[in-house]
Amino acid sequence: MNFDIAMPLTLFAVTMVAMFLNKKVERKLKSTLEEKEFHVRDAALLVAAMSVMVSLIVFIPQTAVMIMFLFAYSMLLFIFTYLFSDFKKNRAKTYCAAFLIVSFLAATISLFSFGVNGTVAYGALGFYCLFGFTFLALIHEENRVDTGERWYLAVLPPASFICLYLFFSRTPLWFPYLLDSFAVVFAVLITLYLGSLFTWKTTLIFIGLLTVMDIILVLFTGTMVSAARHVFGLRLPILISVPTVPMILTEWGWLYMSLGLGDFFFAGLIGIQTMKKFGKRFAVLSVVSMVMSFFVFEILMLNYGLRAFPGTLMIICGWLPLVLWKMRNIKKLN
């Protein structure tokens, strides 16, 4: 019997990180968003918009899709970094030093790759420019007195992401290492950003509608699978792919299991709202239950030849019975 523990553990780790980071960032995010929250109508419209976007994306030229995703990811990195760039001078200097090292190493690798991959070689210029900008930011930080938000610190993550994607996305370094790393970051950031807009009521409506939409688009129309292949062909970090553990070999080599960022957001949102509603211990238990359900469904996929299955359904089947049991117990006590 084939089974895999790598993807369930990845789902558990990303969900837990999003849950516990939410406590630290929610207050600032809510104040930035002026305490706005989704209403029932907003949750329904968001699901409808996601459904339309998934259905239409296969008809959009790949260049346009690439520009759209790069812009969205870059803005997400910039916004988060800017909001939390008011750290102390010593941390800011360490932050700049880290980007100095990364940009210098990437530029050097690009130089050594000259003649092997022209795109990577030309990347040396871009990374040396980023190195120069980071060096100027470090000098400016040395002379800076106040410690408010700094736009020049917020520029560094999206600039690094775009450079790495443009010049390394067709190299072995990008998949799976850099792609998975960026996908994990974006999964957590999306969960934190949108999670602050939901309440318990809107979460229940949203996850119910999203699960129904996912079932239709995966099992009946196949639109979700087609859209994922269309976008993943661009090597954009829209999903996390990890090799199976223990190893499962196919005629193409080591089998990789993939899960979209939307499914990680789905699990993270449920975990965050469960923790707010029932506390940390029950929230952790619910995440374990979701992961175990996902693990069982994944075994069925690996042994019965199912190529695609709704990730939301795999997750909610572990969470829903536990929450219904909890709510029933609370009702009895009252």
Q: How many domains does the chain have?
A: 1
Structure tokens at 15: 């969900």
Q: Using alpha carbons, select from 159, 168, 117 the residue that is nearest to residue 137.
A: 159
Asked, for residue 223, whether it belongs to a domain, the answer is: yes
Q: What is the mean pLDDT of the chain?
A: 89
The answer to whether 237 touches 183, Cβ cutoff 8 Å, is yes
Asked, for residue 209, whether it belongs to a domain, the answer is: yes
Asked, for residue 26, whether it belongs to a domain, the answer is: yes
Tell me the C-alpha distance between 41 and 291, whole Å. 30
Q: Using alpha carbons, select from 232, 195, 215 the residue that is nearest to residue 15.
A: 195
Asked, for residue 132, whether it belongs to a domain, the answer is: no
Tell me the C-alpha distance between 260 and 239, whole Å. 4
The answer to whether 295 touches 2, Cβ cutoff 8 Å, is no
Asked, for residue 103, whether it belongs to a domain, the answer is: no
The answer to whether 277 touches 328, Cβ cutoff 8 Å, is no
Q: What does the CA dihedral 67, 68, 74, 76 come to, rounded to 10 degrees?
A: 180
Give the model confidence (pLDDT) of 154-164 as tens digits.
999 999 999 99
pTM above threshold 0.85: yes
- What is the extent of the structural domain holding 291? 6-56+176-333
Structure tokens at 55: 């259905």
Q: Identify residue 175 by its one-letter amino acid code.
A: F
Asked, for residue 109, whether it belongs to a domain, the answer is: no
**pLDDT of res. 280:** 92
Tell me the C-alpha distance between 292 and 164, whole Å. 35
Asked, for residue 128, whether it belongs to a domain, the answer is: no
The vertex-123 CA angle with 117 and 129, nearest 5°, equals: 165
Asked, for residue 203, whether it belongs to a domain, the answer is: yes
pLDDT digit string (tens) for the chain, length 334 residues: 889 999 999 999 999 999 999 988 888 887 777 668 889 999 999 999 999 998 888 888 888 999 999 999 999 999 999 988 888 888 888 999 999 999 998 888 877 765 455 566 677 888 989 999 999 998 888 887 766 788 999 999 999 999 999 888 888 888 889 999 999 999 999 999 888 889 999 999 999 999 999 999 999 988 898 888 888 889 999 999 999 999 998 877 899 999 999 999 999 999 999 999 999 999 999 999 999 999 999 999 999 878 889 999 999 999 999 999 999 888 877 6
Q: Using alpha carbons, select from 216, 231, 109 the residue that is nearest to residue 171.
A: 109
Neighbours of 265 (CB within 10 A): 24
